[in-house]
Copies of this chain bind each other. A is one copy, B any other.
Amino acid sequence: MTDLQSLNAPELQELKSQLTRRYREFQSKNITLDMTRGKPCSEQLDLAMDMMNCLKEGGHFAQDGTDCRNYGGLDGLPEAKALFAEYMGVQTDEIIIGASSSLNMMHDTFMRAMVTGVTDDTAPWLKQPLIKFLCPSPGYDRHFHICEYLGIEMITVEMNADGPDMDAVEKLVKADERIKGIWCVPKYSNPTGVVYSDDVVDRLAGMQVKARDFRILWDNAYAVHDLTETPARLKNLLSVCKQAGNPDRVLMWGSTSKISFAGSGIAMMAGSKSNVDRAKKQIAFQTIGPDKLNQLRHVRYFKNMSGITDHMKKHAAILKPKFETVQTVLQNELGGKNIADWSQPEGGYFVSLNTLEGCATAVVQMASEAGVKLTPAGATFPYKKDPLNRNIRLAPSFPPLQDIRQAMELVSICVQLVSIDKILGK
């Protein structure tokens, strides 16, 4: 483990030759590996197969007698609301069970805000001159895409080890009425794996905000997606917001896409009763109700929160070796070389790799030319532009272990080669 930045030019050239040989070897193997997709692997999906056919003949009635094969139930079955209210840490009148996509519910929340506003006494966002959003970055590309699509100006805020840079956030939201919200993935943040600290949660709940229609968009996508025996605990933002006298400040989402079946799970939205009631009134124009049979499948299969957390231990058993492999290879290849750092997440779906400044695009390109597909550099930032061009999102959940090992080895070689060129001033 030598600090590459302490080597002289001939030493770097020698190292470059070795690495180039290894890179060429990879190229000659004609491999095709994909580290871009934050989606479960088949073994994870196999875990819930018994859910697929769990509604036996005559078993399609909810506890209250509802025939789940028929219309109705705008905000979800009572038993689904009960289970997922506990999951989200809210009351049953503070949750809406939706269809299968939480992203869909977030998108629709934006659309409603654009067309009808967020509160009764503020204008539709589309009729306000400019809407801005805070985007702690690196963050989730699909959040940013919604803002870009709707012409909402994104302001990048630095993501620290305990959440967004709250000094910056507080300063911005206090001063600018046009800032209407902040995107948050508060637990095992995509892609950094950061868990928001209690202090950050408290400050988000209590901070002084200029815009009356300001909302914290709390996408708690990885609420139970722990990789360790001692899961991180996230403070309940809705509770803290209530204590701070700002109950309507937060909208929360969750989903079972990475618990049961991706794209065929259950999505949910939660918040103060007032926020939820407002959303329900509007959703009543959109649909007669979501797929209750799928809700029933979930409740029958998981039964209760223990059912969910037990199930997630099986996911962890599959994912842990994959995440460990990423760490092992990165540490072996890049450790102590002073050219990269990376997250060591205790849950979630991603590892965030930072190269030297200005190197990410070249690393992704180089990896691609040897058959390893990485998430495009910049994808984790607003407007797909990483100002320091150094962040690379790694998604180890889907590929098999052997592929991950190979891919990470190649990525490490690319990082070194690109770094050496940078150090050499090329």
Which chain A residues have a beta carbon within 8 Å of chain B's beta carbons? 37, 39-40, 42, 45, 49, 52-53, 55-57, 60, 67-73, 99-101, 103-104, 107-108, 111-112, 114-115, 124, 126-127, 142, 145-146, 149-150, 257, 261-264, 282, 285-294
Contacts and interface: CB of A to CB of B under 8 A. Distances in A.
Contacts of A114: 114-115, 126
Contacts of A53: 52-53, 55-56
In this complex, which of A49, A282, A287, A294 has the most chain B Cβ atoms within 10 angstroms of its Cβ? A287
Nearest to A52: B55
B261 A293 contact: yes
Given A100-B99, A107-B287, A146-B285, A264 B45 contact: no
Nearest to A72: B263
B293 A264 contact: yes
A407 to B, nearest CB: 19
Contact of A103 (B69, B70, B288, B291): B288
A289 B265 CA distance: 12
Contacts of A115: 111, 114-115, 126, 150
A69 B262 contact: yes
A76 B403 CA distance: 29
Copies in the complex: 2
B101 A262 contact: no
Contacts of A57: 49
B101 A287 contact: yes
A285 B127 contact: no
10 contacts: A69-B263, A69-B264, A72-B263, A99-B291, A101-B286, A103-B287, A103-B288, A145-B285, A149-B282, A264-B294
A115 B42 CA distance: 39
A263 B291 contact: yes
Given A52-B60, A149-B282, A264-B294, 14 more contacts: A39-B70, A42-B70, A45-B70, A68-B264, A71-B257, A73-B263, A99-B99, A101-B288, A103-B286, A108-B286, A124-B126, A142-B285, A263-B288, A291-B294
A298 to B, nearest CB: 12
A96 to B, nearest CB: 14
Contacts of A104: 286-287
B292 A263 contact: yes
A290 B100 contact: yes
B286 A107 contact: yes
A114 B111 CA distance: 9
A81 B114 CA distance: 32
A57 B293 CA distance: 19
A69 B115 CA distance: 34
A37 B262 CA distance: 34
Contacts of A288: 101, 103, 142, 263
A60 B55 CA distance: 17
Contacts of A101: 286-290
A130 to B, nearest CB: 14
A282 B145 CA distance: 11
Contacts of A289: 101, 263
A207 B40 CA distance: 51
Nearest to A103: B287
A34 B37 CA distance: 50
Nearest to A41: B70
A127 B68 CA distance: 41
Contacts of A142: 285, 288
Contacts of A112: 111
